[in-house]
Chain A
Amino acid sequence: MRYGKRLGPLAAAGVLTLALASCSGGGSTNAGGASGPASENLDGHGPITYVQGKDNSNVVRPLVKKWNAAHPDEKVTFKEQTDQADQQHDDLVQNFQAKNSEYDVVDVDVIWTAEFAAKGWLQPLKDSMAIDTSAMLEPTVKSGTYNGTLYAAPQTSDGGILYYRKDLVKTPPKTWDEMMGMCSIAKKNDMGCYAGQFAKYEGLTVNTAEAINSAGGSILGDDGKPTLDTPEAKAGLENLVKAYQDGNIPKQAITYQEEQGRQAFEAGNLLFLRNWPYVYNLAKTDASSKVKDKFGLAPLPGKDGPGASSLGGHNIAVSVYSKNKATAHDFVEFMTSAETEKFYATQGSLAPVLTDLYDDQELVKQLPYLPVLKTSIANAVPRPVTPFYPAVTKAIQENAYAAIKGDKTVDQALQDMADAISSAGA
């Protein structure tokens, strides 16, 4: 310890100078106005980088290869991120903050688009950068639009589907009330009636938003303010709460994410399941699946017709810091072209965003759920498009979870939800 004392002043001086001199840099967190970098490098051609999460079904590599063969002077390098959505998000944020020009074209989850756009990190896709979206399903275009401007082009989509046991239910329910009426069938067969994703995570936001939107309500208005004080919103959340209290949603469903629900359905323990299209192939082919030929698909049930699914999927955007935006723009067009979209569907089972492909006989043969998915996505409502999405989704999860468990009343939950969302935007 004596050495420590003798060295004290020297150490302090050294530490301070060095701290300032040798390891500063980075750390600036100013939000740029879009006018600066967004107007630069618009006609730059040259090599670019495409950034996306883990390419699990090997879709991106062949596409990049194809592009590179046709554009030897504007080669695309593929940078693969992890397969964890949170980590992909944080990686993008760090690189945008560092104004890294090496992240030219990026793949963004639909729920991040507004946040990144409002931070001024995404190139508005207008004028010379414009992308033709007329052939795309409208809700997917909405998910890439912020304040009336398109910031990200829809790339792949996803929507909720109702899986039902066709051996027990002749015609699938069209409305929520009809479905609840069929729950007596489940009771007779000693199985759970309905489940979605009700554990406290992003899936609960998806399911809550579906319940509220399907009942005719909404979570956020166009001005970004909460619109939860309507009888429709209340009816929507109440549907979930009541079903849980009645036992129509089995009690273990509050621990369900996508996988647990799928397993329960495949084990024959559920009459109805709300899930994504990926379940189809697994339930058909899994060795452990007891329902291989016993299940059918339908659009989510709504108030008096198909329900409003929440939208999944990814958009593709150009960074404002890119040096070769003309190439980036062409690459975005290539990645959203009909040919590419078809390749996504056949190779990666990723739902296309182009309306026509859903009626393509060849595709439907391979992916029989496409017609149902088309109805689902056509009626879909994007999850709240807001730059404060992380706070908004927390507010929804926390309060919907409490309401479903019966810890607070539906009115109180909606009130708290609205207050928490307001304070995020304040």
Chain B
Amino acid sequence: MATEAAGRTRSRGRKQPPGAPPPQRPAGSGRETAAPEPSDRRAKSQGKWATWLILPSLILLACVIVYPVISAIALSLQKDQGLDPATGMFVAGGFAGLGNYIGWLMQQCPAIGGGTVSCAPGTLGAQFWSATYNTFFFTVITVAIETVMGFWMAMIMARTFRGRGLVRAAVLVPWAIPTAVTAKLWFFIFAYEGIANSLFNANILWTGSEGPARTAVIIADVWKTTPFMALLILAGLQLIPNDVYEAAKMDGATAWQRFTQITLPLVKPALMVAILFRVLDALRMFDLPYILTGGANGTTTLSILVVDQIRQGFNAAAALSTITFIIIFIVAFIFVRFLGANVVQNTNIVDTKEKS
């Protein structure tokens, strides 16, 4: 059932307005209606009603999330089609058990005459762990940079100054461009005879070796998604009442103190949600490196590996995407559970903070 829960968490998280905990205590929420005794009956009939109201979306979720997930898992337990040497035609591969999963995790490929051998360089199987490493490498670096820069941009945008609307709109431009287009733009910028090299008068082979290729991907990703981060953080910043700052000023707090003692703790819920979204997004990074480098030179991510594998065999690809799914699920779980990214319940962190 873990799969279903994840699906729900995600889709709910999506619908939520950018991670903003409601400023006032939510009136008429589930907690309040259920508590007092006289309204017990009303609550029951409401519950029935709610069942019917929720049903359509449950059906929809079942179709677009539960069914594909179950079907993917079923697919992943079958072997890929093999060639019948007599006819030269593909035949069904048969039941594989966990063979596909073990193949990916242990980097084992089928050997001629049955059994498995360690995957030779050049097979997709040999790239699982390096792709996992690349994915996490990109995630950690890009999200870290985007958080810092996004915070900085949000602080600027939160101030009142002339032309604020213009700045906010301008900041959004990179985010509004489709990633595939962005990737193609950066592809031309990072070409050998491209803008990046002529601007810095350099002769760097941006897509020709590991360090520069990864740097190129990180630069392009940061350029594109920092605005997203900035907007989510901005939403959080705007929920902090001005009175708090004024009071702090009266008490003689310096700007730095106001930042660390007021801004940071109060914006933390929104910040954590923003980071969570970005991390989940970055973990399935695909189009940017796929177009920019084609996955060459240490830029193959798990998603690129999945897409490459789909062209070679659905069943192993289903296993790989299930593994990817589990990895992302674990990361999301850690975030929600231990780091306090509060996407699902809008309990009142702000309230408790204010009380304490």
A residues with a Cβ closer than 8 A to B are 1-3, 6-7, 10-12, 14-16, 18-19, 22-24, 27, 29-31, 33-34, 86, 89-90, 118-120, 146-147, 199-201, 251-252, 254-255, 260, 263-264, 267, 387-388, 390-391, 394-399, 401-402, 405, 416-417, 419-420, 422-426
Q: Give chain B residues whose Cβ lies under 8 Å from the Cβ of A24.
A: 67
CA distance A267 to B191 in the complex (A): 15
A-B contacts, 18 of them at CB < 8 A, read A18-B59, A18-B63, A19-B70, A23-B63, A90-B311, A118-B88, A118-B90, A200-B294, A252-B192, A254-B205, A255-B192, A260-B193, A419-B120, A420-B120, A420-B121, A422-B112, A423-B110, A423-B123
- Greatest chain B CB density within 10 A among A1, A3, A264 is at A3
Please tell me which stretch of B13-21, B48-56, B136-144, B328-336 contacts chain A, meaning at least 4 of its Cβ atoms lie within 8 angstroms of it.
B48-56
Q: Give chain B residues whose Cβ lies under 8 Å from the Cβ of A7.
A: 47, 50-51, 54
Q: Is A416 touching B122 in the complex (CB atoms < 8 A)?
A: yes
Chain B 306-327 near chain A by CB (<8 Å), digits 1 or 0:
0010111010000000000000
Q: Is A19 touching B30 in the complex (CB atoms < 8 A)?
A: no
Q: Give chain A residues whose Cβ lies under 8 Å from the Cβ of B31.
A: 2
Residue of B nearest to A401 (CB): B296
Q: Is A398 touching B122 in the complex (CB atoms < 8 A)?
A: yes
CA distance A395 to B124 in the complex (A): 9
Q: Is A19 touching B89 in the complex (CB atoms < 8 A)?
A: no
Could you tell me the distance in whole angstroms from the C-beta of A409 to the nearest C-beta in chain B?
13
**Chain B interface size range:** 35 or more
CA distance A29 to B77 in the complex (A): 13
* 19 further contact pairs, Cβ within 8 A, besides A31-B92, A252-B205: A7-B50, A7-B51, A19-B62, A19-B63, A30-B92, A31-B91, A146-B88, A199-B296, A200-B295, A252-B192, A255-B208, A260-B191, A390-B311, A395-B123, A420-B120, A422-B112, A423-B110, A425-B83, A426-B109
Query: If the complex has contacts A23-B62, A199-B296, are A147 and B88 also in contact, measured as CB distance less than 8 A?
Result: yes
- Asked if B201 lies at the interface with its beta carbon under 8 angstroms from chain A, I say no
Q: Give chain A residues whose Cβ lies under 8 Å from the Cβ of B75.
A: 27, 29
CA distance A423 to B92 in the complex (A): 17
- Asked if B345 lies at the interface with its beta carbon under 8 angstroms from chain A, I say yes
Q: Give chain A residues whose Cβ lies under 8 Å from the Cβ of B1.
A: 12
CA distance A178 to B87 in the complex (A): 45
Query: If the complex has contacts A2-B30, A200-B294, A416-B120, are A119 and B205 also in contact, measured as CB distance less than 8 A?
Result: no
Q: Give chain A residues whose Cβ lies under 8 Å from the Cβ of B30.
A: 1-3
Q: Is B312 touching A15 in the complex (CB atoms < 8 A)?
A: no
- Greatest chain A CB density within 10 A among B91, B209, B295, B296 is at B296
Name B111's contact: one of A260, A417, A423 (CB within 8 Å). Answer: A423
CA distance A416 to B91 in the complex (A): 27
Query: If the complex has contacts A146-B88, A260-B192, A387-B90, are A11 and B58 also in contact, measured as CB distance less than 8 A?
Result: yes
- Asked if B34 lies at the interface with its beta carbon under 8 angstroms from chain A, I say yes
CA distance A391 to B124 in the complex (A): 8
CA distance A146 to B89 in the complex (A): 10
Residue of A nearest to B74 (CB): A27
Question: Which parts of B292-308 form the interface with A (CB within 8 Å)?
Answer: 294-297, 308
Q: Give chain B residues whose Cβ lies under 8 Å from the Cβ of A33.
A: 87, 89
Q: Give chain B residues whose Cβ lies under 8 Å from the Cβ of A1.
A: 30, 344-345
B residues with a Cβ closer than 8 A to A are 1, 4, 30-31, 34, 47, 50-51, 54-55, 58-59, 61-63, 66-67, 70-71, 75, 81, 83, 87-92, 109-113, 117, 119-126, 191-193, 203, 205-209, 294-297, 308, 310-312, 314, 344-345
Query: If the complex has contacts A3-B30, A263-B193, are A420 and B123 also in contact, measured as CB distance less than 8 A?
Result: yes
The 9 nearest A-B residue pairs measured at CB? A419-B120, A420-B122, A31-B90, A200-B296, A252-B192, A398-B122, A395-B122, A23-B63, A147-B88
CA distance A14 to B90 in the complex (A): 38
Residue of A nearest to B92 (CB): A30
Residue of A nearest to B46 (CB): A3
Could you tell me the distance in whole angstroms from the C-beta of A112 to the nearest C-beta in chain B?
10
Residue of B nearest to A257 (CB): B294
Query: If the complex has contacts A22-B63, A425-B83, are A29 and B312 also in contact, measured as CB distance less than 8 A?
Result: no
Could you tell me the distance in whole angstroms from the C-beta of B30 to the nearest C-beta in chain A?
5
Q: Give chain A residues whose Cβ lies under 8 Å from the Cβ of B92.
A: 29-31
Q: Is B208 touching A391 in the complex (CB atoms < 8 A)?
A: no
CA distance A420 to B109 in the complex (A): 9
Could you tell me the distance in whole angstroms from the C-beta of A200 to the nearest C-beta in chain B?
4
Q: Is A255 touching B91 in the complex (CB atoms < 8 A)?
A: no
Q: Is A255 touching B123 in the complex (CB atoms < 8 A)?
A: no
Residue of A nearest to B50 (CB): A3
Could you tell me the distance in whole angstroms from the C-beta of A64 to the nearest C-beta in chain B?
30
Q: Give chain B residues whose Cβ lies under 8 Å from the Cβ of A200.
A: 294-297
CA distance A24 to B191 in the complex (A): 46
Could you tell me the distance in whole angstroms from the C-beta of A296 to the nearest C-beta in chain B?
24
Could you tell me the distance in whole angstroms from the C-beta of B67 to the nearest C-beta in chain A?
5
Residue of A nearest to B203 (CB): A252
Q: Is A89 touching B47 in the complex (CB atoms < 8 A)?
A: no
Residue of B nearest to A390 (CB): B311
CA distance A391 to B308 in the complex (A): 9
Name B121's contact: one of A251, A405, A416 (CB within 8 Å). Answer: A416
Residue of A nearest to B31 (CB): A2
Q: Is B312 touching A199 in the complex (CB atoms < 8 A)?
A: no
Q: Is B205 touching A251 in the complex (CB atoms < 8 A)?
A: yes
Name B117's contact: one of A263, A397, A401, A423 (CB within 8 Å). Answer: A423
Residue of B nearest to A32 (CB): B89
